[in-house]
Amino acid sequence: MLGDKIERKLWFVKIPNLAFILVIVSAFVYLIDYVSFLQGGEFFLTKLLYFDKALILKGQIWRTIGFVFIGLNSSFLFALLQSYFLYFLGTCLEVNVGERRFSLFYIFGVIFLIIGGFLTGTTTILYLNMTMFFAFATINPNRKLLLFFFLPVKTIWLGVFDGVYFLINLLVALIRRDLAMILSISSALVSFLIFFGPRFFIDIYKQIKNLQQNSKRMYQNGSYWGS
């Protein structure tokens, strides 16, 4: 797998506690902006960090990486839930696949986004963060999470639903001819496919086969009792 080859060649690349760093810095940026907003101001850190090709070429080079830390939702409650979920997913991935592979997955995603940003003028970290759930579902396909806090669902199927959401967003971007959004989604998906893709599709295939076998078994049992 390509991801394995990259991991072997870039064995020295690793950011310890990357998920923790991402969440803490993003939360700090959000809280500063939120307090400013409550006092009648504006989201000045967000304005200072978002990716803007024109401003970067004028010397504001911090925007090249600063956009990574402005992915939280504007609603305080959703930002809190999002922070917790990103930390949960990130730390689980660090434990399951190792800090090196998780770091490479995220770094490559950011590099692809930066390239896309220079091609289109802007980019967003939103979709790369969302692909962390794809990766989590790949590593833990049979783990159950509580959808809406009460409905247990296997992560592999939540990953499939997440994929449908991605496809809908990509379709909308194509209809609108929004090249920046198209490249943001594509960049995130490419990084995921490099490091987790083959295993994800294999797990989906296995789940479908299991469903088919269970359905066949239930049908046969029904036929037996009906005879």
Between 68-72, 99-103, 115-119, the lowest mean confidence (pLDDT) is in 68-72
Each residue of 155-171: pLDDT tens digit? 777 777 888 888 899 99
Q: Which token pair is 138?
A: 């790949």
Q: Which residues contact 217 (CB under 8 A, 6 or more apart)?
A: none
Query: Does the domain made of 2-216 have the CATH classification 1.20.1540?
Result: yes
| Dihedral sign of CA atoms 92, 96, 100, 102 in order | negative
Q: Does residue 120 register a pLDDT over 80?
A: yes
pLDDT band at 44 (very low <50, low <70, confident <90, very high): confident
Q: Does residue 113 register a pLDDT over 90?
A: yes
pLDDT band at 110 (very low <50, low <70, confident <90, very high): very high
Q: How far apart are CA 160 and CA 154, in angstroms?
A: 10
Sort strands 151-154 and 144-147 into parallel, antiparallel or unpaired. antiparallel
Looking at the DSSP assignment, which residues form a beta bridge with residue 151? 147
pLDDT band at 36 (very low <50, low <70, confident <90, very high): confident
Q: Does residue 150 register a pLDDT over 90?
A: no
Query: Which run of H or E residues covers position 201?
Result: helix 197-226
Closest to 100 in 3D by CA, of 7, 1, 197, 226 = 7
Let me know: does 148 contact 177? Beta carbons within 8 Å. Answer: no
Provide the whole-model pTM: 0.84
Mean pLDDT of 20-33: 94
Identify the pLDDT of residue 187. 94
Domain coordinates in residue numbering, the chain? 2-216
Q: How far apart are CA 52 and CA 123, in angstroms?
A: 8
